[in-house]
A and B are shown apart, each in its own frame.
Chain A
């Protein structure tokens, strides 16, 4: 008979903290992610990038670091604005005599409108909005969507997975059928179907503003991976002796599922949650790019990229760069952090 022993993860959380401290890459990644979280909290509170939608610059304004580079479109726009857009029809216009009077009156009432600047820190977009502010606000929106959607998908997947894994038999059979139905439909098609239905149906008015449409689409499409994982873990743990011991002393099923097993599975769930956040952010960007994501009055990395495509042709690359850089740094740091997390929680690597 075997004297082979099963080494289960030992008090993972303090061990995790120690190992993260030693892993330099992990620590740097954690720092970057925390910095982003602070930034988006500020943005959400309105302390940063509040006026992102205000047209503070000329259209296609140059970024500050490119300063005086010739910018045909910007100077055209500036001249256009200064000159006025209406052709001179004074000869034939019956209202012509009134113009001078109106101009006098508006000059008195005119609010102080700051003159649009020629350059912005990271340039301006087609309407002259500050690209840097958009990037910050876009970070907030994209990351918020990713995190909230991931949490929703995790909740659904964990609950269903726990039930299926713990109870087995017909509960598991039924949930497996549901899982099969959802995974037989390719994810993109499910997303498109949900997008079509949610925008034109009765719920469209309910979700017109805000991120909930995207969040629902992502959560409903993305819960299946978590379900599979949690179900497998619960099936493994329900046979473990500490669970049987809990049953022997009289602990209820709910207690065994959520008080005993769940803490032992939480590290697996955490890693999967982090992977979901990254995946969902990337999908949100694509959806917003296609116009199926966040509503038009919000900005996300995806909407910035959709504008960037046409801008690139006339040589304006800064919005593309801003969105890409902000997104790449965050996702790289977050992915590295997830890797460090996974290594730190893996009992075999200790």
Chain B
């Protein structure tokens, strides 16, 4: 098959008043006709910029090097006039973006927006365009498409919004669909549906798809060719089977390996460094201590939020209903669920950041939930939390030293200020950061480093229990492994009890001794990780397991539909 789009030696820089940043440094790849090419890389790899260069949908301060060439069926798009580009966009080449809610115009109806792209490139009356729009909505799987034409974007769910975006993109039967992380912002179960939709449409319309993702496992199910990028260059490219079965480049091998596997539970996850330096990853099975007296107990926790619906009226929203668990020192209980399942609320209840409506929590036998503020303070030492967003959990206006010392000061640990600063340095070392980080500010560190600082802060008061609320979800895959390894090391050496919360079933399975599956505030299933995976009892658990990307082994084909 011939080349539909050929990118050669693409170089893109972003110019600000002070500096110039090279985002893409000499990237070449080819999208074949009627095939799916996946661009895989972590944040900062340049994958999005490369793909968006095809349609020249770049920010105003982007500069493309004159030697670069992007050929669409032989025509150099980088030299095309603005009018020619406009003719191609939405008709020959179209795009679907990551955040469907903000990518749709909030004040126009769904029908108007879909009809717009039809009327723009074809001679259609508005009546005909609306008809066709309804057909398109049906094709992408939106129920009651005619009624939906008059709906506004905010009235649809995330998955439905993304389907509308896809409908707009395929409306004019494009030759190429560029999908920029189309499922990253969606729930796991919805992800799978949208991916299957894209694959189905591709086959039916004989379209090529340029699929951008950070998740190699996801890509393995969908792509024909894979291009792996890092830091603005191509590390490896080839057919998908070869990439998965015989990866050449150490970075590719690292990406494949550092996801927690579903079939084994190694002592440590391999990290990028291991592969870049040629060290073989040791896969010893993980040894876990037996269950003992519970360090943290939750009994029938319930949390209701009151929503004001009128001046005097209000409605109760049940976020958490009848959740109970316990965890002993050195072990981990895992809570897994999608957004709205209530798992984050449970985390906050444990820390008394929220007050439970009913139920109680006990720390080593001492009741946690009924205490007043003064009595609560000493208990706060014993249970700490690590949050999801490393960019928001550290105060941007404080240097690291102050951030680490503050909890010690509040709980009067350490004989003197100097002693506290010394201890802070030790903590930094323990999490693998240099002592000179003390004077620096959060913005000078990467996401993974900030998360380690957050862990150091939590450890500053020597807690017995650590609640981890999606600690690695906002990090790149390669960095996730580092942080998970750190958490495991700390658990082993300090005997901490963990409550590990995540939407990612593979990660939860890897870290936990007992797993609770949550949905809409309730625990729908619980058991050991192995038992849950081997024989899931509840319908929802089965759906969650099925939604996990399997890489090449889980490849979609029309026959399975």
Complex A–B touching at CB under 8 A? yes
A249 touching B353, Cβ below 8 Å: no
B136-144, B392-400, B486-494: which lies at the interface: B392-400
CA–CA, A1 and B185, complex, Å: 5
B503 at the interface (CB under 8 A from A): yes
B163-171, B199-207, B377-385: which lies at the interface: B377-385
A248 touching B18, Cβ below 8 Å: no
Q: How far is the CB of B92 from chain A (nearest CB, A)?
A: 29
Q: Which of A7, A22, A246 contacts B391 (CB 8 A)?
A: A7
B353 touching A244, Cβ below 8 Å: yes
A250 touching B447, Cβ below 8 Å: no
CA–CA, A93 and B393, complex, Å: 94
Q: What residues of B have a CB within 8 angstroms of the CB of A3 in the complex?
A: 43, 184, 214, 473-476
Q: How far is the CB of A56 from chain B (nearest CB, A)?
A: 51
Q: What residues of A have a CB within 8 angstroms of the CB of B348 in the complex?
A: 244
A108 at the interface (CB under 8 A from B): no
Among residues 328 to 347 in chain B, which have CB atoms less than 8 Å away from a CB atom of chain A? Answer: 339
Q: What residues of B have a CB within 8 angstroms of the CB of A11 in the complex?
A: 396-397, 441, 443
Q: What residues of B have a CB within 8 angstroms of the CB of A248 in the complex?
A: 351, 353, 380, 384-385
Among residues 362 to 394 in chain B, which have CB atoms less than 8 Å away from a CB atom of chain A? Answer: 377, 380-381, 384-385, 387-394
Q: What residues of B have a CB within 8 angstroms of the CB of A12 in the complex?
A: 397
B242-250, B403-411, B419-427: which lies at the interface: B403-411
Binary interface encoding of chain A residues 1-35 relative to chain B, with 1 for a CB under 8 A from any of its CBs, else 0: 11111111111100000110010000000000000
B116 at the interface (CB under 8 A from A): no
A1 touching B503, Cβ below 8 Å: yes
B391 touching A6, Cβ below 8 Å: yes
Q: Which of B380, B394, B410, B474 contacts A242 (CB 8 A)?
A: B394
CA–CA, A11 and B439, complex, Å: 13
B474 touching A10, Cβ below 8 Å: no
B392 touching A242, Cβ below 8 Å: yes
Q: Which of B43, B98, B380, B397 contacts A249 (CB 8 A)?
A: B380
B187 at the interface (CB under 8 A from A): yes
A324 at the interface (CB under 8 A from B): no
A79 at the interface (CB under 8 A from B): no
Interface residues of A toward B: which range? Answer: 20 to 34
When C-beta atoms are compared, the residue in chain B nearest to A262 turns out to be B397
CA–CA, A7 and B389, complex, Å: 10
| Total inter-chain residue pairs, C-beta < 8 Å | 105
B177 at the interface (CB under 8 A from A): no
B175 at the interface (CB under 8 A from A): no
B461 at the interface (CB under 8 A from A): yes
When C-beta atoms are compared, the residue in chain B nearest to A5 turns out to be B391
Q: How far is the CB of B354 from chain A (nearest CB, A)?
A: 10
Decide yes or no: A251 and B406 within 8 Å by CB, A3-B474, A4-B185, A350-B16 being known contacts: yes
A50 at the interface (CB under 8 A from B): no
Decide yes or no: A264 and B339 within 8 Å by CB, A4-B185, A5-B474 being known contacts: no
CA–CA, A247 and B185, complex, Å: 29
B442 at the interface (CB under 8 A from A): yes
Binary interface encoding of chain A residues 227-266 relative to chain B, with 1 for a CB under 8 A from any of its CBs, else 0: 0000000000000111011111111000000001001100
B454 at the interface (CB under 8 A from A): yes
Q: How far is the CB of A211 from chain B (nearest CB, A)?
A: 35
A249 touching B18, Cβ below 8 Å: no
Q: Which of A18, A240, A249, A260 counts the most B-chain CB atoms under 10 A from its CB? A: A249
B353 touching A247, Cβ below 8 Å: yes
B406 touching A9, Cβ below 8 Å: no
Q: What residues of A have a CB within 8 angstroms of the CB of B99 in the complex?
A: 4
CA–CA, A7 and B442, complex, Å: 11
Q: How far is the CB of A122 from chain B (nearest CB, A)?
A: 41
Q: Which of B339, B396, B503 counts the most A-chain CB atoms under 10 A from its CB? A: B396
Decide yes or no: A1 and B339 within 8 Å by CB, A249-B410, A264-B397 being known contacts: yes
When C-beta atoms are compared, the residue in chain B nearest to A251 turns out to be B410
When C-beta atoms are compared, the residue in chain B nearest to A260 turns out to be B395
CA–CA, A9 and B441, complex, Å: 12
CA–CA, A12 and B18, complex, Å: 16
Q: What residues of B have a CB within 8 angstroms of the CB of A2 in the complex?
A: 184-185, 474
Among residues 170 to 188 in chain B, which have CB atoms less than 8 Å away from a CB atom of chain A? Answer: 184-185, 187-188
CA–CA, A67 and B487, complex, Å: 85
CA–CA, A248 and B352, complex, Å: 8
B84 at the interface (CB under 8 A from A): no
Decide yes or no: A241 and B387 within 8 Å by CB, A6-B392, A250-B410, A251-B406 being known contacts: yes
When C-beta atoms are compared, the residue in chain B nearest to A11 turns out to be B441
When C-beta atoms are compared, the residue in chain B nearest to A239 turns out to be B392
B406 touching A10, Cβ below 8 Å: no
Q: What residues of A have a CB within 8 angstroms of the CB of B396 in the complex?
A: 8-11, 242, 264
Q: How far is the CB of A22 from chain B (nearest CB, A)?
A: 6
Q: What residues of B have a CB within 8 angstroms of the CB of A242 in the complex?
A: 392-396
B560 at the interface (CB under 8 A from A): no
Q: Which of B98, B389, B461 contacts A241 (CB 8 A)?
A: B389
Q: How far is the CB of B382 from chain A (nearest CB, A)?
A: 11
CA–CA, A104 and B214, complex, Å: 105
B17 at the interface (CB under 8 A from A): yes
When C-beta atoms are compared, the residue in chain A nearest to B381 turns out to be A250
When C-beta atoms are compared, the residue in chain A nearest to B391 turns out to be A5
Q: How far is the CB of A252 from chain B (nearest CB, A)?
A: 9
CA–CA, A251 and B373, complex, Å: 11
A245 touching B387, Cβ below 8 Å: yes
B188 touching A1, Cβ below 8 Å: yes
Among residues 26 to 76 in chain A, which have CB atoms less than 8 Å away from a CB atom of chain B? Answer: none
When C-beta atoms are compared, the residue in chain A nearest to B475 turns out to be A3
CA–CA, A242 and B384, complex, Å: 13
Decide yes or no: A22 and B394 within 8 Å by CB, A1-B187, A248-B385, A251-B410 being known contacts: no
Residue contacts A-B, CB under 8 angstroms, 6 given: A3-B214, A3-B474, A4-B184, A245-B394, A246-B406, A249-B411
Leading 10 A-B pairs by shortest Cβ distance: A10-B443, A249-B407, A241-B393, A241-B387, A263-B397, A242-B395, A241-B392, A250-B380, A250-B410, A2-B185
Interface residues of B (CB under 8 A from A): 16-18, 43, 98-99, 184-185, 187-188, 214, 339, 348, 351, 353, 377, 380-381, 384-385, 387-397, 406-407, 410-411, 441-443, 447, 454, 457, 460-461, 470, 473-476, 503-504
Given A1-B470, A248-B351, A249-B384, 18 new contacts (CB under 8 A): A1-B187, A1-B504, A6-B391, A6-B392, A8-B392, A10-B396, A11-B443, A18-B18, A19-B17, A22-B18, A241-B393, A242-B395, A244-B393, A245-B387, A248-B380, A249-B406, A249-B457, A264-B396
